A and B are shown apart, each in its own frame.
Chain A
Amino acid sequence: MLFYEEKDARETLKLRSLKKGEYHQDYPLYTVVRDNDKCIRCLACVRQCSYEATFYDPVRNVIYNKDEACVGCLRCVAICPTDAITVKRNDTKYRENENWREETIKAIKKQADFGAARLTGLGNDKGYKIYFDHMVLDASQVTNPSIDPLREPMELRTFLGRKPDSVKVEFRNGKLHLKEKIPPQLKLEVPVIFAPMSYGSINFNFQAALAIAAREAGTYFNTGEGGLHQKLREFGSNAIVQVASGRFGVDIDYLEAAAAVEIKIGQGAKPGIGGHLPGEKVTADISRTRMIPEGSDAISPAPHHDIYSIEDLRLLIYAIKEATRYTKPVSVKIAAVHNVAAIASGIARAGADIIVIDGFRGGTGAAPTIIRDHVGIPIELAIAQVDQRLRDEGIRNWVSLIAAGGIRSSADIVKIIALGADAVYIGTAAMVAVGCTLCQQCHRGICAWGITTNRPDLAKRINVDIAAEQLYNLLRGWAIEIREMLGLMGVNSIESLRGNRLKLRGVGLTQEELDVLGIKHAGLQ
């Protein structure tokens, strides 16, 4: 590493200034300010910065910054024992221009230097309207009493899977008896599932933490498309395993280990395109789990090469059902696109038990920035349309709906369930719970917080037990808040919220937006 070399750091600085001259370089986004009175030269910041934005000159006993390398992840700030560091936005700005914004100019400069598609991580960060922030909830006053979750049961248990129109039950000797079993279901104690994040895009420690927290909280984690590590097979009953276009890690043991199987068609952050895990990230462990040679690129094609139509999808759904003897729900995950309602209807009719709709704010381990930021539609609108479409066709009960992509809080969960979702996926929120600061560098594989990296020295920054506790705490806290919101709305179980759009009102939305969401404007009874 650069920081511990004994040579004079001035050499480095000289090299840097030479390099700067070669390109029409940009100004840095961030600047790291160190309070010299507070700094004790412990060098924790130097060791922790995986982006090499800071280095130490032992001759002068000075810590220098390379601001253009700083991504604003704040790892150094968090770790500094004397609170000596502040990371500021650089005051330097391009001349004000409403049309040519800073990020646009920076993008062009970067591409002019490197001639490639820009990559990024996480979800769409553009200023599109966030519909969650334009919907408010109802509360009970006088005519119906609110229910106090501290005094009364408040139920969040949710079942995902295909539901028949009716149930065949009878009383036998005064006890209710089920005459005909219903199709397999996933049982959730809290309507939140950890979103698909593959081993490879994240490291083992984080995935293990997700698995532990899912089991503790009575919910599920999704393996993503990177297979299920042998050491995590014991968490199979809390795992949804993915079958994606690369088919990594898929064999019968993988399917059988899981609680449910998910066919990944699309991802909200990058609808319509595939994925690519560079060979240098395919370590021995990842190669075993993905069932590909060590060091080889793991390429997920854009479409499944055996799915070019809805009838092909049906074949795969039933191939999986046959292989698992109809004991597990089969889920199909698609990105939210313009025609999402019709596509969802087709998927329901193709035999899926669960449909996951991933909105355009959904995160990713790596995606071209231009696609992440410009393709797809908001999850709020997509869920509203899918739910209504399935109801219009009388098949809403055939499938459960999971909303993904852009869920930030328990209020978002309550709102999307009121719009019609059965449960949600959280990916970004789960990462934030274990340290992520949304610096959007996941694609580089050197996450300073140890989340989206498989470099052993970085990955060990995630302590499995602590991370699992943080994830569990998040679900627990959200569950408490959801119970409070149910209670104030005067209902004591989540199924009375699901699809209950009367509990929502729009604020600052056009009539067209209200129609798409299927809600009334605030102020209307």
Chain B
Amino acid sequence: MSWNYVKDISNCGLFGVISKKKRLINGEIARRAIANMHDRGNGLGGGFAAYGIYPDYKDFYAFHIMYDSLKAIDETEEFLRDNLEVVHEEDIPTRETDKIKWSPYLKRYFVLPANNPKERELELLRGMDDDYIVRVVMIINDRIEGAYVFSSGKNMGAFKGVGFPEDLAEFYRLDEYDGYIWIAHNRFPTNTPGWWGGAHPFTLLDWAIVHNGEISSYGINRRYLEMFGYKLTLHTDTEVVAYLMDLIVRKHGLPFEIAAKIFAPPFWKDIDEMDEDEREAYTALRAVYGSAVLNGPFAILFAFHNGLMGLNDRVKLRPLVVGEKDDLVYMSSEEAGIREVEPDLDRVYAPPAGEPVLVFTEEEKD
């Protein structure tokens, strides 16, 4: 039943960095920065996402899947063979560490939609690759017990689990990856079942989200998404952000700036002050997308293949700091996280409530 779920609550630390010139940044940077905000987590969740890490397979969707059992692997891989073209598969490389004592089976697959999928609902999505892949992710996460796709974008990947993020970076050997965007997360859940899939970032296609806060509007955000066919499987409020972004930006074709205005809309008192044309636009936006407002305290970092967006709730109930150095833009819960990896910044500022900080890579700005 769609209302019968437990919402996960957590408070956290965030870090993100983007190179506008797409210069590659080593995973060690993200690890050090988030490690410097160690106390914002409690060891029950951490994770990273990096962009530009799979140049050899950049035209393929990179599936990162975690499995609880060998049975789940068999079932999933049969589904993948039936419905996807898998060009390469392997275990996700990990390193033994003292701190991460247990992990699920972790595998990755580089895939494209199959020409003749077995699944009827996928057949209908042929030719619409992104919709096809989203549906595949939904099917696996919803139907196959013990299997969870935690990354599905092109030339990017998420790495996450239960533990402190610096230990997970060690475990996932992130010092061996170089990317032009990194986001990282240190989690302080208050009621977690300690599930690896519940860690941040959350991803869908090449979108990845890390989030600090609690989305008090979760109950309606979730029901709104369900109306559009999204299956929410993760029992966490952050998941809705990823899917809302998918709906608004990818499906409805609205730019990120407008998505930010939907998530954290201007107050009516400010809208009432606008000129008529703009007032009409914001009024329509709020009237139509009321159920997509993210209400409650949050700071979000949202990464995609050509950019990074930071956003606070509209009364700024969670910290978010931005630092700039040359073509690098850092976003972090604390300035300390940024200073750890870049002591000499050109500019540091805290973005105002509800105002998105949107940074695109230079050659691909759209």
A: residues with CB less than 8 A from B are: 140, 143-145, 147, 152-153, 155, 157, 159, 161, 163-167, 169-171, 175-178, 181-182, 185, 388, 391, 394, 396-397, 418, 489-493, 495-503, 515, 518-520, 525
Contact = CB atoms under 8 A, between A and B. Distances in A.
Contacts of A518: 1-3
A515 B214 CA distance: 26
B244 to A, nearest CB: 12
B284 A502 contact: no
B267 A496 contact: no
A369 to B, nearest CB: 37
B291 interface: yes
A153 B227 contact: no
A144 B284 contact: no
B288 A182 contact: yes
B191 A525 contact: yes
Contact of B3 (A161, A169, A177, A519): A519
Given A144-B213, A391-B226, A520-B4, A152 B315 contact: yes
A355 B121 CA distance: 33
A185 B228 contact: no
Contacts of B286: 159, 495
A178 B280 contact: yes
A84 B169 CA distance: 83
Nearest to B255: A171
A176 B7 CA distance: 34
B267 A155 contact: yes
Contacts of A176: 258, 261, 278, 281-282, 285
Contact of A394 (B191, B228, B287): B228
Contacts of A152: 315
Contact of B218 (A161, A185, A502): A502
Contact of A144 (B214, B255, B265): B214
A508 B282 CA distance: 43
B252 A496 contact: no
Given A491-B216, A491-B296, A493-B295, A177 B277 contact: yes
A169 B258 contact: yes
Contacts of B224: 499
Interface of B: 1-4, 6-7, 9-11, 190-191, 213-214, 216-220, 223-224, 226-229, 248, 251-255, 257-258, 261, 265, 267-269, 275, 277-278, 280-291, 293, 295-297, 314-315, 317
6 contacts: A145-B297, A157-B268, A163-B287, A388-B2, A489-B216, A495-B220
Nearest to B213: A144
B216 A391 contact: no
Given A152-B315, A496-B216, A169 B4 contact: no
Nearest to B257: A171
A165 B280 CA distance: 17
B227 A164 contact: no
SS of A interface (majority) = loop
A397 B228 CA distance: 11
A502 B297 contact: no
Given A169-B254, A499-B223, A178 B277 contact: yes
Contacts of B217: 491, 496, 500
A501 B5 CA distance: 11
A442 B107 CA distance: 73
A496 B281 contact: no
B278 A177 contact: yes
B216 A490 contact: yes
Given A391-B226, A490-B216, 6 more contacts: A144-B317, A167-B252, A170-B255, A496-B220, A496-B295, A497-B220
Nearest to B190: A143
Nearest to A418: B219
Nearest to B267: A153
Nearest to B4: A520
Nearest to A491: B295
B216 A140 contact: yes
Nearest to B188: A143
A337 to B, nearest CB: 23
A177 B258 CA distance: 11
Contacts of A163: 287-288
B347 to A, nearest CB: 22
Contacts of B269: 153
A495 B220 CA distance: 9
Given A144-B216, A177-B278, A495 B290 contact: yes
A501 to B, nearest CB: 5
A489 B191 CA distance: 19
Contacts of B9: 143-144
A376 B358 CA distance: 53
A164 B289 CA distance: 10
